[in-house]
Structure 1
Amino acid sequence: MSALGRRRESQDEEDYWMGSKVNRNKFNLFDDEVTVETAETLAKSKKLLTQFEDEDVDTVNWDDTPVSSEAADSSPISGHITAASASSLPKSSFRPETRNVPPYMTHSRSQSESFGVSARVSFTPSSLDSTTPTVQYSKSQEKLHSLTSPSSARSLEDEIPSYTSTSSGSKNQEEEVQYLRRALKKARELKFSPDDTIRKMILGEPYSLEVFRSKEEKLQLLDKAIQVHDGNAITAVVLFLRQTIKPSLFNLELQRRPVAVNHYLSYLRAHYDFKELGDVLGMLNRTEEAAILKYKQAIGAPDVRGKMNALRGCLKAHFIHEPDLVNEAHLVEQHAALLERQWPIEDADSKAEAQGDPVFKQYPRKVSILNMPLITTLYYCCFYHGRDAENLLTSPLAIKKQHQLSDKQYMWTALSARSRLKHWTGIEELLTAKGWFGSTKNVSVIGFDKVCEILHKTSAPNDVLSKYMRMIDGSERRLNLARKYKCHEVVVETLVHLRDRQELQTYASKLPPGSPGLKTAQDALRSSTIKWKT
């Protein structure tokens, strides 16, 4: 067909539609140029009502046949749409002109049905007063409307998991959802008893504590666990109670069950939950355990300054005001005071060592004095600061006085330090005491046998060792130690004192020739003034 022929055919079709009954009506709702907004405006101005009430104007179908209002009203499928919802319908961005449009571009019934727009809009007097047009839907539209209505949205909520799994094409996921639903339904129908649950916990079978909702059931579960004396079950139920009931109620019920309290405290200690452990001990009025716990936390501080502050705070909060912790409070006070003494000593000695002090060059420090025990601190001060005045922090006598050390503790420590330094004159000063009228005498609170033991360990000279060996009380004790430490002169002197000639001859035969002990023994054996035992 030529272009001229196609133009004529299009013109003839346009003339046909212009002269049709649909075009003769001033207002046709199904015209392509009529939009939703236009229909709403016509309804508000009541112009459309006048056209519908006019006898000359008929509502027509797509095939240009008239449709009576009674037939429309009697349609079994109808719906209502408000003006607000009508205005929210999507606007068409493409509206073809009725002029010069080919036949295949015109609107047909099949197209309207496929897009769900075959509903007929009619207006009644009541609907005009409320500006609400009535929309009559087809069967396919009615199904779509029922799916998008608010009432149907609630019914669809239960079907969302199945719909999602189906739409994703995952059959396994849908089966899993269905299985979980059946399992949940079955679990809700079952009734769990505390006895069965505790039995499963003991046997290691699967169990659930979430099924116990009320407070009474949970307490029955705890009592049953205590009754069977199973520690794991008791701990599990106590933790379940802590998570599911109020803290005040949990503390009250826990106080009534000492066995549960002990297991709960053991659990907190094992998991290092010291804050909760301290709170529970304080709640139970177990002040001694709470104080010791706080003391352990205080001494666990990483630095000395923080440890000193923590000890002072722990002392004030948990020890001073408790009458039953008087002795413990004194020990905590001593610990804090020792740290306060060690800190400046360490600072001063580290600086002196860095500057090349002769004492630290000859005897270098191996470790820091910080956090050392009291006796170790005393030994350190006796070794490096043995002659410091009592008003100094480094003075051994000041340490002895402040920390109330005994004379034996001080003597043993000071003697060991001076013996290692080979400071024999200092040892004599320690063992010399003033008597009446300015006289002096050798006294040792630890016994001269212990003095000789210390001197022997530090490789003291034989004359120094023999000097203090002669001060040992008891001939048998002195003889045994002299033989042990090989003080030959003291052995010979003791045998002579015991008048044991035979033992003296035997011992002298074992001495090396020319030794002082051998000469002393020979002189004693030749003496006629000694009366030997028969």
Structure 2
Amino acid sequence: MAALNRRRESQDDEDYWMKSTVNKNKSKFNIFDDDVTVETAEDLAKSKKLLSQFDEEDVDTVNWDDTPVSKSITSSAISGVTARVSFTPPSQEPSFPVVQYSKSQEKLQTLSSSTSAVSIEDAISGYKSTNSSSRNQEEEIQYLKRALRKAKELKFSPEETIKKMVLGEPYSLEIFRYKEEKLQLLDKAIQVHDGNAITAVVLFLKQTIKPSLFNLELQRRPVAVNHYLSYLRAHYDFKELGDVLGMLNRTEEAAILKYKQAVGTSDVRGKMAALKGCLKAHFLPDPDLTHEANLVEQHASLLERQWPIEDADSKAEAQGSPVFKQHPRKVSILNMPLITTLYYCCFYHGRDAENLLTSPVAIKKQHQLSDKQYIWTALSARSRLRHWTGIEELLTAKGWFGSTKNVSVIGFDKVCEILHKTSAPEEILSKYLRMIDGSEKRFNLARKYKCHEVVVETLVSLRDRAELQAYASKLPPGSQGVKMAQDALRSSTIKWKT
């Protein structure tokens, strides 16, 4: 009986709500129909009873983001979108119009390729605060918020996002807000071996997580480190590059980077200061860079020597010094290599005392040049100056009991090569050709340099009569070489080879 009574009461309530309200108002509309159109809603709103109801009741109208708006905006907004309007019965709480937004689906591309440190929510809030007076701008803000909400609801996985990055499709990194998701994104980029994707994700991580955490996670992924370092080099961000190399304990690369930066300084004084600072900060503290530290120190010392030499010689040249008139300088000595500096000083200051900056001997000792380097450079300079006495001094050494002898650490064949390149006279060239050990080598070089007397002497020492006759037939008649060859051929003391 109780169940029957409840069914009757429910049927009575249903009959009550589905009957006379509409008939009393003599209206053709059913206010509980869910398919009321916009036109139907407007006609319904024009009825006097409903208008009075809206006037009497305190209606709270909300915007798309649940913020209250004015009635004028609400009424105009209703006319621009498809609406569904429903009212509660008079016996229940006061009715409120409910508008459901059904605009065409927004595209996710509005959020594509966003790697900015500022989130979209921050940009929207800042934009709203400065342009709240404009209705169009307010609508655009709401559109962006809905688009962001829709993008978050899609919940793109790291795999899908990396795939879009590789294929060149629109993507968004802004939707990944948690550290675990961002690290998964980086790991997936490394798995597909796409350098652009790896670099983009690394930059996104740098902008959105703490530096300490970024450095820690980067060290765990060598592939990401290499791509990030390549990016920094390509964009000439040497400060960040040096910091990352130091953080990774790659001290040698960091030191070489700082050295390159110091060498790139155009001003000589600034370069000297930069080299000294680089030496002190990066090379000297590292025991593994002892050899490199010595080279950097020598570079700085060379610049300290070149600066006053260039200053003094430029003034002497301007004042008309004879040596600079006879052999004008072609370029400045500043920033020249060590061997070029030695050649310059041998050429213009070959006789200077060892206590002067211009002394070639002082340069040799300070920069630890070998005897071969020094002799070759000094010989080239003196040969160009045609200073034959100076060449003899270079190639003379003291022997036992005060005697002297000719010695060449580079070999007399190299001496003759240098003399030939500088067009030395035949008698000077022949003098040092005779000092070459080995008859065959001496014969070949003498014939190459056309020192006929040395050729004839060598053939006589080899007792090669046939070769001597053939060679003499090619010489100019009446030359000294021909006379020497004829005298040797007529000599009865020479035992020729059969």
In the superposition, the TM-score normalised over structure 1's length comes to: 0.69
Name the CA shift for 1:321/1:417 in 2 (closer, same or farther; >3 Å): same
Q: Is 1:286 aligned to residue 250 of structure 2?
A: yes
Q: SS at the partner of 2:69?
A: helix
Matched, 1:155 2:68: yes
1:354 and 2:318 equivalent? Answer: yes
Contact 2:284 2:290 in 1 (8 A): yes
Task: Tell me which residue corresponds to 1:327.
Answer: 291
Distance 1:402 1:234 in 2: 50
Task: Quote the residue 1:186 is aligned against.
Answer: 150
Work out which of the residue numbers 224, 229, 232 in structure 2 matches 1:260: 224
Residue in 2 that maps onto 1:230: 194
Q: 1:43 corresponds to which residue?
A: none
Secondary structure at the aligned position of 1:208 is classed as coil
TM-score after normalising by structure 2: 0.73
Partner of 1:125: none
Q: Which moved more, 1:279-288 or 1:382-391?
A: 279-288
In structure 1, what is the equivalent of residue 414 of structure 2?
450
The structure number with the bigger radius of gyration is 1
- How big is each residue's C-alpha offset from its partner over 1:458-479, in whole Å with a ceiling of 9 and x where there is no partner? 0000000000010111111110
Alpha-carbon distance in 2 for matches of 1:311, 1:380: 23
Specify the code of the residue in structure 2 equivalent to 1:272. Y
What is the CA deviation profile of residues 40-59 of structure 1, one whole-angstrom value per residue up to 9, with x for unaligned ones?
A: xxxxxxxxxxxxxxxxxxxx
Q: Given residue 331 of structure 1, which amino acid in structure 2 is its aligned partner?
A: L
Q: Aligned residue for 2:487?
A: 523
Instruction: State the alpha-carbon separation in 2 of the partners of residues 326 and 513 from structure 1.
Output: 66
Matched, 1:342 2:255: no
Secondary structure of the 1:302 match is coil
CA contact under 8 A between 2:162 and 2:189: conserved in structure 1? yes
Distance in 1 between the 2:70 and 2:251 partners?
A: 57
Among all aligned residue pairs of Structure 1 and Structure 2, give the percentage whose two residues are the same amino acid. Answer: 85
Q: Is the aligned partner of 1:486 residue 2:450?
A: yes
Letter in 2 for 1:328: E
Indicate how the Cα distance of structure 1 residues 277 and 413 shifts in structure 2: closer, same or farther if over 3 A, else same.
Answer: same
Q: Secondary structure at the match of 1:446?
A: coil
Q: Which runs of 5+ in 1 are unaligned?
A: 1-138
Alignment CA distance shift 1:224-1:473 (3 Å): same
Structure 2 residue 408 is matched with structure 1 residue 437: no
Aligned to 1:62: none
Offset at residue 188 of structure 1 (A): 2.7
SS of residue matched to 1:213: coil
1:201 is matched with 165
Q: 1:271 aligns with which of 231, 235, 257?
A: 235
**Which residue does 1:414 correspond to in 2?**
378
How many Å separate the matches in 2 of 1:171 and 1:279? 48
Within 5 Å, which residues of 2 pair with 1:29-44?
none
Q: Contact between 2:279 and 2:297, CA under 8 Å: does it hold in 1?
A: yes
Paired residues of 2:464 and 2:497 also in contact (CA < 8 A):
yes
For residues 312 and 277 of structure 2, what CA distance do their matches in structure 1 show?
27
Residue matched to 2:368: 404
2: distance between equivalents of 1:392 and 1:374? 17
AA aligned opposite 1:324: D
Amino acid of the residue matched to residue 254 of structure 1? L
Task: Give SS of 1:369's match.
Answer: coil
Distance apart, 1:180 and its partner CA: 5.1
- Distance in 2 of aligned mates of 1:398 and 1:255: 49
Deviation at 1:184, TM superposition (A): 3.6
Q: Which amino acid aligns with 2:185?
A: L
In 1, Cα distance between equivalents of 2:158 and 2:215: 21
Q: Check 1:440–1:251 CA distance in 2 against 1; reply closer, same or farther (3 A cut).
A: same
Of residues 461, 475, 483 in structure 2, which corresponds to 1:497? 461
2:60, 2:68 within 8 Å by CA — same for their partners in 1? no
| CA distance 1:173–1:333, change in 2 (3 Å) | closer
Alignment partner, residue 10 of structure 1: none
* CA apart distance, 1:146: 8.3
For residue 287 of structure 1, report the CA deviation from its aligned partner.
Answer: 0.9
Aligned partner letter, 1:249: L
Distance 1:419 1:493 in 2: 26
Task: Calculate the aligned-residue CA RMSD, in Å.
Answer: 3.0
2:391 to 389, 404, 427: 427
CA deviation digits over 1:455-509, x for unaligned, max 9? 0000000000000010111111110000100000000000000000000000000
Deviation, 1:172, is: 10
